[in-house]
Each structure stands twice: as structure tokens, then as C-alpha cells.
Structure 1
Amino acid sequence: MSGTSDKPTAVVVDGYSAGNFYPAAFATAGARVIHVQSTPELIPSMLAPDLTAYAENIVDGDVDSLAARLAPLDPVCVVPGQESAVRLADALSEALGVKSNGTRLSPARRDKYEMIETLRRAGVRCARQFKSADPAALVDWAAREGGYPAVVKPLSSAGSDSVFICRDAAEVRAAAERILDGHNIFGAANTEVLAQSYLEGTEYIVDTVSCRGHRYACGIWEYEKTLLDSGQRIYNRDILLAEDQEPAADLVAYVDKVLKALGVEWGPAHAEVIVTEEGPTLVEIGTRLNGNLNPGFHDVALGRNQAALSALAYADPDAFLAQFSGGVYTKRQHAFVYNAPTVLDGIVSAVDGAAVAEMQGLESVFQAAPRRKAVHSRIGLFLSPVHETGQDPHLAIRRNLDLVDHADRLNYDEVWFGEHHTLGWGLVGAPETLIAAASQRTTQIKLAHGVTPLSGHHPFHVASRAVHLDHLTRGRYILGVGPGVPFDAATFGLDPKVQRKRLDEALPTVLELVNGEERITQKTDWFELRDAKLQLPRYSPQGIEIAVATSGTSVTSPRLIGQYGLSMTSFALPFALMTPGAPDHIGLAGQWKHAQEAAEEYGQTLDRDAWRVALPVHVGETRKQAFDEVREGYDRWLFEYFGKAAGRDVLSPGASREKALEARVEAGGALVGSVEDVVGGIRRMQEATGGFGTLLVYVADWTSWENTNRSLELLARYVAPQINGAVSRPREAVDFAIAQRAK
């Protein structure tokens, strides 16, 4: 017993996700709970542990120092709260001499390749497999041994993270390179990739709890899933099987062999098994709680839940064995977990509470809860890029790359590079060179042309550059196209109307060259192709995303977007539309409406999640500070760039130069203010448009480098989480803790 408590002590390592149910379960079993956090910072991609539920949180990942610190507490167990904690929990429990699965087979309980090989050595039915850090070797194995389809996934992760069903060699290579280029769900770099033979059949969950090597099967659920075009699967429903329903008995008997082969003597296990023609075959198993565990729901449907059973097995083994040794659950009533599928994608900015309450009021519903996936920030940058004259052009260009590095570290989703050839401020005439350079400096951010003026480039060259950039970025490239800005038209001897005509002519050609397979023969008055087809295949097997820019001056671009089913990048209120004599502006909702109407006419489907809206944004600690930081820079951008260089009338009659910035913000052409101001502005835009996927922050030299960087950090750290819902869980946890204490 601990020197400070007469209760037994349980230790939970990294109690993320379902591990959050351990404190209450151990408390019911009469134990106090200590938490070990193995990383200096909490893992951001997972539901964080509620540290207020523990008697103490120890931040340390070293086995020896942890064992020395925990030994005086005389713990009864050390359990992993989630998948990546398995090895540390095994090592700690062994070092402390408490109930443990030990370290001898610990790698096999964590490494998916070693897991299957251990089964093979034990004579347990399993998939064929191969691991490598070389995509070519994985492709070769799939062709020789695995066959198609083949499963490609990380060696160590959890859930459906980066699991791909690949139908040919190109998809195997693309999946392998994508995995090797990224990190698993726990934030660790993927250094090898696992390829396995595809198991054809129905997939099941088998949940167990072990105590002194005796197993209790506490639930079997059938997966209902959908295979996406990307090769990834989504799971729609988990359907509870009755204990006497086929193939429950076969599944339990097979999982018993798996548990024995992997040395699972203590604690929970969550197995995923496919029943093939040959019989049950393991997909993988984790010695941790079912990630979809809901204790109250499982108690109603099964009479027990895995967290409570695990706590009892550790805290009072004799009581557990007397009641559950070798047993199987009894299904008390029909039950399933339903993850509502949808053809829509995007950001949930609000939930109809009345509808949720109505569902919750149904007798058949145990819990109705909207789930907001909030992993990414869903914000990007739009670098026109324009820089006021009088500074070193070389340093200005380098600053753009530094800004991309900063955005990548802040988890921005995308950065778009514009193309300009005149007026002195827009220095980048070859944005593909910046994209190529940025591809070698960044890790996750997507890189986009914003946009390529098709009126000024041969379609074959546009397509060729796009595919090369798709390779350089390893699938992070987006091709944005448009007619070209009117300012540049005269330099190339073009009438702006000709720019639009050339877009119409070149766009279908570019689409076929980039994402098609046919050879093209075409002749216009400005380009010619004869049996043209790119030699280089795409890096991205699903195709390169292509977006069309629209500024609201015409219905032509929105209709092209709908006609070809492309992505849309809108400028919320371009400056040109705020000048005297400007054409009537088609608002954002109107732009989407025109695109949607065209899509229906041509049998296409548009995705709001692929809709970007670009406008200037600057965030300060206060509204006054934000305006003060950008006022002078905005004035120069307005009067020097658009007024002098572009020759525009920048103020309407009677308008005040001193209030020009406020006028733009009020008109919806910029967001400037505090975190709360900008959050409110984005929400209003979402409501007015019906929803869009990504906000692109138009970056101009309105303020200092330091202020710009700070604004981007405020956006990523405080604005985006309020828009995508990432702050709701921590806030709910605080409210819950307060409510529990009040009881």
C-alpha cells in the first residue's frame, strides 16, 4: 500500500481516448489511480486524458526513473491507456514485479509485423506479409507473393490510421510513400511500411479481459464498413452479436489461440478478426481497451463493460476469476454503434441542439452525440505575393519561403502562390519555383498554384509542371487555374476578354493531360497538340486536385467549376470590386449557387470542403492593436499599389482615406481585430455561404514580419480551434469536473 493511502494504487500510462474510463473503473474497484504521461507534451491528435481524475500525474518516459518513483506506492498494476503505451506499461509492470504480460513478447503485441510472425511461428492462421522502407520492394512483394488487392499500413499505429486497400502496383507505391512521408497517430515518424495479403470476409471486434491467463470474452461486434475510392475504409456501424450466434464460438476459440501466442495473461485486449473462407484470421490486436467503449452503453447491452472488468481483474483477481474465468458475455438486448455516414464534408460550425435532443429522447437511443472531427486547422495562406517597392526583392522572395515554413509548423493546411508579371509589387512570375523550393522545406502543408493563368501558358507545359510538382511534393500539390489578371493582359498583347476565352479552351485540355489517360489532338488559334500525352505518370493515384479561381465578377468561372466538378477558390471581396464603376459583385453564396446549378446540369458533384475563400486577415491581442498594426501598411497597399501602380480610383466620392480600412472590414473584404472578432467574422461568413472548407489568409505587406508571424500564430492557436470545435472537449471536461464536485 502507499504511504499516503490505505487504498491499492493502479497506474495508467497515457490514458488517452478510452483510457479516460480507467479512473472511474478503478475507483469502483476500490483503488486510487496515478497517471504516467510518457511525453513532455500531450499528444494533440488524440482525446487527451482528464488529468483531474487522477491522484497525481507523473511526466516521465524512462523506465528506471519511473520504477524508482512508483515503487514506494506499491502499485497493484501498470496498464496502458492506449496503444502506444503498451511497451512502457509492460516494462514498468515487469520492473515493479506486479501483474504483467512481461516484455519478452511486448514487441509482438505492438509491432504489427512481429505480431503476425509470432502467430505464424505458433501455428495460428494469419495473413501473408512483408515489411520494408523501400516502396519498390513492397510493390515487388505484392506482385510476387501478396496479390491484389493488398493492404498497406504503418507498422505501429492505431485504428484505421493510414490503412490503404491497394488495387495495383501504383496504389501500393503511392500508399507506401505517403506513409513513409508522414507520422502515425501518436506523432512518431513512420520508418517502415507493412504490406499484407487482403483478407476477404466479414470483420468482427472481439473484446476480452484476462486474469492470470484466464480469459473472459466481454463483447463481439460485427463491423459494417465502406471502402472509399482512396483505398481507405470508413466504419459505419458496430453491430452486437449474440453469444450463441454464428460465428461467435469460432471467433472466441481463435482469439484464445492469439492471446496464448502473444503471451496475454493480464488485462484487456481488442482484436479485429476477419472470417475468411479458411476461418477466422487476425487483422490486428491491441492489449488495451476498445477505442469505441462507452461503459454505460455496454453495461445496458452486455451487463458489463471492459474498463470495469479490467479494473476488477487487477484489483481483485480472485473475485474476477470466480465469476468470469473462461466465460462469454450474454447479450441483453440488440445494440449497435452508428457513425452516421454522409456525402458531405467540411466544418461543423453549429449543431441543431433540438434535433439532437429529439434523437436522445427516443426509447431506442442510449446516446446521441455529434462528433466534430477537429484534427487540422482548416486554414491556409494565400501569398499573392505582393511586396511594396523600396526593399530588396531577393529578401522579399525569401521571406515568402520563411512564411511557408512558419505556417507548416503551425499546422496550416495549405499555401497558395500567385503569379504576376507587372506593376512592381507582385514579384513572383514563376510560382512553380517557390512551390518546388517549399516542397523540400515542409512536411505536411499542401502547396498550390494560386493561380496559373491559362491564357498565358501552353496547356501541355501547365500539365507537365503540375505532374512534376505532384512528385516533388509527394502528393501535396494543388493546381489552381484562372484566366489571368487584367493588369498583365496588355504585356502579352491580350484583350482581357481573350483571357477568358483561352481559359474555356485550355481547361478541358489541361484536365485530360493531368488526370486523364487519352492522347489529345487539338488545334486552336493559339496552341496546337498532336497525339499529346504526358510521359510522366502522376504521383497521386487518385488524381491531382484542380481548382478554379473566381472573383465574383462573372458567372463564367463558377459555371466551369460546376461543369467539370472542380474545386472553387473564391476571393471574398476583391479590391477591384470596391472601386467606382466596378461591376456588380456576385457574393460568395451566389458563386456557389451558380457552380452548383452547372454541376447539376452536367451530372457533376461538388464538395463544399474543397471550397476555399481568400481574404486579408490580421489578428491582434485587441481590436485596437490589430487595426493599429496594419493601418499604415494597408494605406500604402491601397494608394501606392492599387492607386498609383494599377491606376485605380481607390476611394468612392465622399469616402475618407482615414477610414478606408474600417470601410473594407465592414464591407466584408477583410477580417481585422481580436481573436473574438475574427472568430465571429468567420462564423458569419460560414452562415452566409452555407459553409466552406478552408479560409485562405491573404498575406500582404500590411505590417512587420513579427506582427504577421504573431497574427498567424493567434489564428492557428486560438481562432481555428474555435471554428473547428477542437476546444469543446477540454471545456466539456472542465464543466464535467465542476459538476461532479458539486454532487
Structure 2
Amino acid sequence: MRIGVFLVAAGFPGRAPGDVLRGTVEAIEAAERAGFDDAWIAEHHFMSYGVCPSAVTLAAVALGRTSQITVGTAVSVLSAQHPIALAEQAAILHHVSDGRFRLGVGRGGPWLELEVFGTGTARFERGFPEALDLLCAALNGGPVAADGEFFRFREVSMVPQARMSPVVACTSDGTVRLAAQRGLPMLLGLHIGDEERAEMVAAYDAYAADEAPPAAHVGAALGYVADTTEQAVREMRESLPRWLGPGLAGYVPVDGRPPPRRDIPEYVDLLCRIHPVGSAEHCVEKITTTVARTGLRHLILMVEGAGDRVRTLENIARLGAEVLPAVRRSEPGAV
């Protein structure tokens, strides 16, 4: 069982983006002290939902400030950048961190970065498999060449070479099939519960090749511990809407399709209901139940829901002291 932290670099009102980014690195240092296995950084562009536009860059800073914890991206938006350039950056971090870097990628959405960076909606709609295959070829040491719809270039050698496999964010059956056919583990978001996660894992297994080894999927969840479950839920109901309301409004489609809509209080209640938000005992029970129901052996907890630097660090410390040891003791064979 692996348990990590998931950091959105959430732009809560009143917090300057620079302070949020410094706090994100500070949270990763705290997660290492607290005994978490890894830390994953989200990437967003031109919005307050998440103020980190380059998860790879911030991961590099965090790797330089730590010595043991694995640091990953959850996710780098592949539709907004060149897969070979991303592979080069990942290879650098792989080598200088002695293998402590993990790359997570996702298709992203039809948002403003497609227009600003010039990659376009066609690549978002159709180009993810092509980009993912090039990324995987480059991360398998290369050499790599392209003669497809979106990428065409002569064969090049990868310098430096690195042999690593990305994790793929999956929100649709098509992406589940894509990841399974390539033997890549899934990253499942915090907006779904145990039943849907179990269904996606089952679908992945059905699509995967018969001889494929078991995939080490990753599931994201909101994680917040307080003295009582009632207190934890109350605090999340107070803090999360301040971030989610203006943050989700930052998703601006570039092609005229309607923007995403959520009932914010309803969404917050859902997150509190399906994830480890509560007393330490409640958090342990929710995590062990999720593991039993889904088969996931790797969870990453979004720990910054309070929207405050001090409370985020306290949350990380309490999860590390009160929740992680009990979860690990509950594993089969634990002593």
C-alpha cells in the first residue's frame, strides 16, 4: 500500500499565487517528514483553481528540497505540449533525483491553453493516442521518429535516455482502453467514488492483454482529519466553496461548447461523503474500505482543502501520525 499527497496548488481567495507555490513545496517537505510515500503536483493554466502552470518545474524544486519522497505530476497536460520535450524534462528529473520522479499525463480539456500554446482543439480531440505513443517511445530510451497526423520529424536520439512509464489520467472508457492496451497504470480523479473506480479497474483488466502484469493504479481523494468527523465536514463545507466557486469558473472552453457546471455545495458534500474526511478513525476506515472495494493499492490525498498554509501543514502532520500507521497496520501480513 502506498499513500501520498496530492497538491492542486489551489488558489484560495486572499492567497497570492507565489505564496501558494512556496506553500506547495513546503507541504511536500512536510509530507516527507510525515512518512508519506509520494507527492503529486497538478498543472493548470490561466485559472485560480490551480496556480501551477508547470508541474514538472515545481516537481524539480520539490525534488531538490527532499531526499526520500517520490514526486510526480498529476498531471502534466499532454495536449498542451510536445511529447518529446516533456520526455526530455522527465528524463532530467529521473536522473538527478535518482529515480524519485514519476510522470503523470492527461489529455486535458478544450481549454484556453490549446489556443494560447497553438496546439489546437484537433489535437485535443484526436491527437492524444499519437502524443502518448511518442512520449512512451521517448521514455523507453528512443530513438524516436514520427510520421503521423500531428507529429512529423526525422529520427532522433534521446539524450539523456530514461526508462520509465507514465501514469495516465483516465476519465472516460476510451482513455481506460488506451491505457490498458499500452500497459500504463491509470490515475483516477477525486470526483468519483469506490463503485465507479471499481468499474474502471474492471474495464481496464478486460481491455488489457492476457499476459500483462497487474497495473499499479493511483486514486486521488480528498483527505482531511480533525478531532471529529462532524468538525472535519463542517470545516470543508466552509472552506472548499471559497475555492471551488471561482476556481471551476476558470475552465473556459475555446470552441464554443458550454463550460462545465457543478452545484458547489452538493459537490463538497459528495467529496466529504466518499473520501477520508473526518476523525482519524473515520479516515482509516474510509481508506481501508476503498482499498477493499476497488483493489487500488495507491491513494493520494488532496490535503490543502482548508485553504490555509498552517492548517494544511497540520493536516499533513496529523494524517501522517494518526492515519498512515493505522492503515499500514491493517494491511495483510502487517506486524
TM-score, length-scaled by structure 1 = 0.41
- Could you tell me which residue of structure 1 aligns to residue 272 of structure 2? 665
- Could you tell me which residue of structure 1 aligns to residue 321 of structure 2? 717
Query: Cα distance 1:560–1:729, how it changes in 2: closer, same or farther (>3 A)?
Result: closer
- Could you tell me which residue of structure 2 aligns to residue 593 of structure 1? 202
Query: Cα distance 1:500–1:697, how it changes in 2: closer, same or farther (>3 A)?
Result: farther
TM-score, length-scaled by structure 2 = 0.88
- Could you tell me which residue of structure 1 aligns to residue 36 of structure 2? 412
The amino acid of 1:661's aligned partner reads V
Counterpart selection for 1:650 from 262, 265, 274: 262
Query: Cα distance 1:626–1:399, how it changes in 2: closer, same or farther (>3 A)?
Result: same
The amino acid of 2:207's aligned partner reads A
- Could you tell me which residue of structure 2 aligns to residue 687 of structure 1? 292
CA distance in 2, matches of 1:453, 1:645: 14
- Could you tell me which residue of structure 1 aligns to residue 256 of structure 2? none
The alpha carbon displacement at 1:671 in A equals 2.7
Aligned residues: 328
- Contact 2:303/2:315, CA 8 A, preserved across alignment: no
Query: Cα distance 1:562–1:729, how it changes in 2: closer, same or farther (>3 A)?
Result: closer
Counterpart selection for 2:187 from 569, 572, 590: 569
Query: Cα distance 1:406–1:635, how it changes in 2: closer, same or farther (>3 A)?
Result: same
Query: Cα distance 1:627–1:487, how it changes in 2: closer, same or farther (>3 A)?
Result: same
Counterpart selection for 2:175 from 544, 557, 572: 557
Counterpart selection for 2:136 from 511, 524, 527: 511
CA offsets, 1:1-38, max 9 Å, x none?
Answer: xxxxxxxxxxxxxxxxxxxxxxxxxxxxxxxxxxxxxx
Alignment of 1:172-187 (within 5 A): none
CA offsets, 1:157-187, max 9 Å, x none?
Answer: xxxxxxxxxxxxxxxxxxxxxxxxxxxxxxx
Counterpart selection for 2:246 from 640, 652, 666: 640
- 3-state SS of paired residue (2:224): strand
- 3-state SS of paired residue (2:218): strand
- Contact 2:276/2:284, CA 8 A, preserved across alignment: no
CA distance in 1, matches of 2:270, 2:48: 26
- Could you tell me which residue of structure 1 aligns to residue 255 of structure 2? none
- Contact 1:565/1:599, CA 8 A, preserved across alignment: yes
CA distance in 1, matches of 2:155, 2:269: 55
CA offsets, 1:366-418, max 9 Å, x none?
Answer: xxxxxxxxxxxx21111122212432221111111100110011121111111
The alpha carbon displacement at 1:471 in A equals 1.3
Counterpart selection for 1:470 from 73, 81, 94: 94
Query: Cα distance 1:494–1:418, how it changes in 2: closer, same or farther (>3 A)?
Result: same
1:379 lines up with 2:3 in the alignment: yes
CA distance in 2, matches of 1:663, 1:437: 33
CA distance in 2, matches of 1:613, 1:729: 23
CA distance in 2, matches of 1:725, 1:634: 31
Question: Greater CA radius of gyration, 1 or 2?
Answer: 1
CA distance in 1, matches of 2:304, 2:150: 34
Query: Cα distance 1:651–1:590, how it changes in 2: closer, same or farther (>3 A)?
Result: same
Q: Relative to total residues, which structure has the larger helix share, 1 or 2?
A: 2
- 3-state SS of paired residue (1:440): helix
Alignment of 1:476-491 (within 5 A): 476-488=100-112, 489=114, 491=116
1:623 lines up with 2:229 in the alignment: yes
Alignment of 1:267-416 (within 5 A): 347=1, 378-416=2-40
1:547 lines up with 2:174 in the alignment: no
Structure 2: gaps (5+ residues): 253-258
Structure 1: gaps (5+ residues): 1-346, 348-377, 578-584, 733-743
- Contact 2:34/2:320, CA 8 A, preserved across alignment: yes
Identity of aligned residues (%): 27
The amino acid of 1:684's aligned partner reads T
Query: Cα distance 1:698–1:729, how it changes in 2: closer, same or farther (>3 A)?
Result: same
The amino acid of 2:246's aligned partner reads E
- 3-state SS of paired residue (1:636): helix
Q: What's the Cα RMSD here?
A: 2.8
CA distance in 1, matches of 2:298, 2:267: 27
- Could you tell me which residue of structure 1 aligns to residue 213 of structure 2? 605
1:456 lines up with 2:80 in the alignment: yes
Alignment of 1:11-410 (within 5 A): 347=1, 378-410=2-34
- 3-state SS of paired residue (1:711): helix
CA distance in 2, matches of 1:509, 1:494: 16
- Contact 1:572/1:588, CA 8 A, preserved across alignment: no
CA distance in 2, matches of 1:486, 1:616: 25
The alpha carbon displacement at 1:681 in A equals 1.2
Q: Which has the higher contact order (CA 8 A, sep 6+)?
A: 2
